[in-house]
Chain A
Amino acid sequence: MCLAIPAQVTRLGDDGMATVSLGGVVKDISVELLDKVEVGDFVLVHVGYALHLISEEEAQRTLAMMAEGGLLDEELAEIAQEGEAA
């Protein structure tokens, strides 16, 4: 649960929520912890909240490295479990 995944914001809601796309998974997250977010921005997502804005280059670099190490699958599985648990 330590890791944060880079994701791209595809839609902004008016309630502090945003839709992001990460590793092919579409998910609603909170962007309340950030000052300013725009559609197209890359954010670091941790337990359903965007913690930080990052550059696209950094996002792609991190995703590629996580995918290579098998870490991305673990994190995405954790996110995917949410629907079943709730």
Chain B
Amino acid sequence: MKYVEEFRDPKLAENLAAVIRAEADSAREYNFMEFCGGHTHAIFRYGVQDLMPDNVHFVHGPGCPVCILPVRRLDDAIELADRHGVILCSYGDMLRVPGTKRRSLMVAKSEGADVRMVYSTLDALKIARENPDKQVVFLGIGFETTTPPSALAIKQASEEELENFTLFCNHVLTPAAIRHILDAPEIDPEEAVRLDGFLGPSHVSTVIGSQPYEFLADKYQKPVVIAGFEPLDVMQSVLMLIRQVNEGRVEVQNQYARVVTREGNERAQDLVDEIFEIRPAFEWRGLGSVPESALSIREKYAAFDAEKRFEISEKVSREVKSCECPAILRGVKKPKDCKLFGNVCTPETPMGSCMVSSEGSCAAYWTYRRAETLAEMAAERDLEPAQ
């Protein structure tokens, strides 16, 4: 209960925690995946796990956009900046993620490539207007929240006939990734993570609505509660999931109804549909190739597609050896299971993407659970037989 005083309404948090303890059936385990990295961060920052009974577990999912971009696509972005001499614009979180041979966009920049951190696609468009003699590429990453801004940037570039702006599109889809995780046991039994329900992402859902999760309840018989980012939201959502499990109900519930509707932002959805189409498959760090899980730019807007404008070479891309980010992103390992955690891999010297973004599991453990995690790692090492 050590973080409880940090809640704005500690009484309410305590009450919620008490109700959860009372209603969680001690004869069973509850494994809930929070797909979104924002939830992972909130759970750790506010110590929500400490308020849960021992049989309620959070499984951290692959919902951090920086974490799931495969090394190959990052290497491609670095190549665009290096070999094609473009101005490469990126959201800040991407810059320190190590690519092959630990070369990041930041390293490329220090070696002379023109890599610029931007807050918005609006800034990338401005850079393109101000540098008509240079090609400007925006590294588009993220789930359904960052996709509409990328779509709008292409639309605007098209209307302005801005000939030096392209998008390197790596936008991915939340429902397809969840489906893949649930199909994983059929693909590989060792990958089976037992899940009793999902905390659905909040801001992604403001765009796509709650409707796209209904297949989880209908086809996969998994309860879903769309949850806000605040700690009390997360706790209330956990209680709603526990009640569904206890009562044998399987529904999509919307705890974040004050912001999320069933339909979402249809104007944004229409725009995304106009500019993008679904890729047959896309490689995710950790999940491998996931069918129909990402977007590419439609032929009509091919002039704004960096993959079509620039030749990107075939290359061998490798993640840092021993880095467990892929298994951590699938929810089958925790940061303590990674040999690199806390010794060679820290937020200052990250070896993998999960340590870079503040929404990554390793960064969350490092920031809020460092001592406990390192102690657990030491204890597990001592238990191993001497070599």
Contact = CB atoms under 8 A, between A and B. Distances in A.
A22 interface: no
A47 B206 contact: no
Interface in B188-241: 203, 206-207, 229-231
Given A1-B91, A54-B259, A74-B358, A49 B46 contact: no
Interface in A18-43: 29-30, 32-35
Given A33-B265, A51-B265, A62-B230, A44 B119 contact: no
Contacts of B206: 4, 44, 51-52
In this complex, the interface size class of chain A, counting residues with CB under 8 Å from chain B, is 20 to 34
Contact of A1 (B116, B146, B259): B146
Contacts of A78: 92, 119
Interface in A42-79: 44, 46-49, 51-52, 54-55, 58, 62, 64-65, 68-71, 74, 78-79
A2 B258 CA distance: 19
B258 A55 contact: yes
Most A Cβ at <10 Å: residue of B37, B116, B118: B118
A34 B148 contact: no
Given A3-B203, A46-B145, A30 B229 contact: no
A51 B145 contact: yes
Contacts of B148: 33, 49, 51
B25 to A, nearest CB: 31
Nearest to B141: A1
B203 A86 contact: no
Contacts, number: 117
Interface residues of B, number: 47
Given A1-B142, A30-B152, A47 B121 contact: yes
A51 B209 CA distance: 12
B123 interface: yes
A46 B230 contact: no
B8 A33 contact: no
Contacts of B357: 1
B126 A86 contact: yes
B66 to A, nearest CB: 7
**Residue of A30, A65, A79 contacting most chain B CB atoms (<10 Å):** A65
B66 A1 contact: yes
Contact of B92 (A48, A58, A81): A81
A30 B6 CA distance: 34
Contacts of A3: 38, 203, 229
A64 B97 CA distance: 31
Given A3-B203, A68-B6, A81-B92, A52 B120 contact: no
21 contacts: A1-B66, A4-B206, A30-B149, A33-B152, A44-B259, A46-B149, A48-B121, A49-B120, A49-B149, A51-B265, A52-B206, A54-B258, A65-B230, A68-B8, A69-B6, A69-B46, A85-B92, A85-B118, A86-B116, A86-B118, A86-B127
A-B residue pairs, 9 tightest by C-beta: A48-B120, A2-B38, A82-B119, A85-B117, A52-B206, A49-B149, A33-B268, A65-B230, A48-B122
Interface of A: 1-4, 29-30, 32-35, 44, 46-49, 51-52, 54-55, 58, 62, 64-65, 68-71, 74, 78-79, 81-82, 85-86
